[in-house]
Amino acid sequence: MLLCKDGPWGVAQAHARGNYHDGRDQMGNKSNKDRVRELVECAESHFGEKVLHSSAPGGEGRASWRFEMESGFVIATSRPNFRRTHLEAVALTKLAEYCDDTPRCLGVVGDIMFQSDVGGRRLNQEIMKYGRRQRTDVAHEAIASIFRVQSAGRKSGLNRSMPHLGANHDWIRNLVDATSVLKSFSAGRSLDVDQEALCERITSPAVEFVKWDCRSGNAAISDNGRLRWFDFEYCGVRHGAEDVAWLIGDEAWPVQPQTMEEIVVSAFDRTNHYALDPYLDYLSVYLTLHCVQRLKLILKEVNKRGWLSKTRIRKYDDAGVHPEFAAHICKVGAYFAQRVPLTRLIGLDFEDAEKVFEQVLKSGRKDVENMKVPA
Encode pLDDT of 242-279 as tens digits: 999 999 999 999 999 999 999 999 999 999 999 999 99
Cα angle: 365, vertex 317, 232; to 5 degrees? 145
* Phi, psi of 305, rounded to the nearest 5 degrees: -120, -10
Q: Single out the residue of 116, 153, 72 nearest to residue 230, CA to CA.
A: 116
* Phi, psi of 19, rounded to the nearest 5 degrees: -70, 145
Q: What is the pLDDT of residues 8-60, one digit of tens each?
A: 223 322 222 222 222 233 344 467 788 889 999 999 999 999 999 999 876 66
Q: Single out the residue of 97, 95, 105, 118 nearest to residue 8, CA to CA.
A: 105
Full set of structural domains in the chain with CATH: 11-117 (3.30.200.20), 122-363 (3.90.1200.10)
Cα angle: 293, vertex 118, 217; to 5 degrees? 20
The pLDDT, as a whole number, for residue 245 is 98
Q: What is the mean pLDDT of residues 192-219?
A: 96
> In this structure, is the dihedral angle defined by the CA atoms of residues 315, 327, 349 and 215, taken in order, positive or negative?
negative
The pLDDT, as a whole number, for residue 22 is 28
Rounded to an integer, what is the distance from CA 20 to the centroid of its chain? 29
**Residue 145, number of CB atoms within 10 A of its CB:** 21
Residues 6+ apart with CB under 8 A from 192: 345
The pLDDT, as a whole number, for residue 289 is 98
